[in-house]
């Protein structure tokens, strides 16, 4: 009975695989949120702006009902104005009467601009990055073995834990799967 042997990769082939996995890690890092999640985030932000606007209208109505002279200074004090809050007021004033149509307009415009970018939820991105880092570490252990056997130069960005031969499970448990700053 013969068993199939895995092909032995050359050091250059291993390094090509390392480069591919590093590229996948970068692509995954750059993944955007799924469209629905992104639109939900926008809706929450605009809803907060609308609520800020409604509170302003209520406070201004109270000042007018009390017969106060409503000056710019008084309006700013009613809102406890900060640059951020003034921006929220402006957005809220513009969007409040037509929030749903604004969201539909943004969704339609976004579809036209879709560039095919990878889109992942935060959980999907974390899981994919972990999977890729595990594969990268496995390759780096193979690469280090090749470096030791051939005397070839080590990559300057080689993972120190892989260079030392730390087992993958130990490296993962101690956050050493990647030499990059996370």
The pLDDT of residue 118: 93
Q: Mean pLDDT in each 10-residue stretch from start to end of the chain (182 residues)?
A: 65 95 95 94 94 86 88 76 80 91 94 90 96 96 93 92 94 85 44
pTM exceeding the 0.85 threshold for the entire prediction: no
Question: 3-state class of 148 per DSSP?
Answer: helix
d(CA 82, CA 141): 54
CB 143 within 8 A of CB 11: yes
Query: Which position has the token pair 């104005």?
Result: 81
d(CA 111, CA 125): 22
């Amino acid at each position: 009975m013969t068993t199939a042997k895995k092909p032995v990769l050359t050091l250059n082939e291993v390094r090509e695989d390392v480069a591919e996995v590093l590229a996948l890690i970068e692509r995954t890092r750059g993944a955007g949120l799924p469209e629905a999640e992104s639109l939900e985030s926008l809706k929450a932000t605009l809803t907060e702006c609308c609520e800020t606007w409604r509170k302003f209208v209520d406070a201004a109505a109270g000042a007018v009902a009390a017969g106060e002279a409503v000056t710019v200074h008084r309006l700013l004090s009613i809102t406890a104005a900060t640059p951020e809050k003034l921006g929220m007021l402006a957005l809220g004033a513009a969007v409040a009467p037509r929030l749903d149509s604004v969201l539909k307009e943004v969704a339609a415009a976004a579809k036209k601009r879709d560039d095919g970018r990878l889109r992942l939820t935060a959980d999907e991105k974390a899981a994919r990055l972990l999977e890729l880092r595990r594969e990268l570490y496995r390759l780096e252990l193979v690469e280090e073995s090749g470096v030791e056997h051939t005397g070839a130069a080590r990559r300057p960005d080689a993972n120190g834990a892989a260079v030392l031969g730390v087992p993958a499970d130990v490296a993962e448990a101690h956050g050493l799967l990647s030499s990059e700053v996370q």
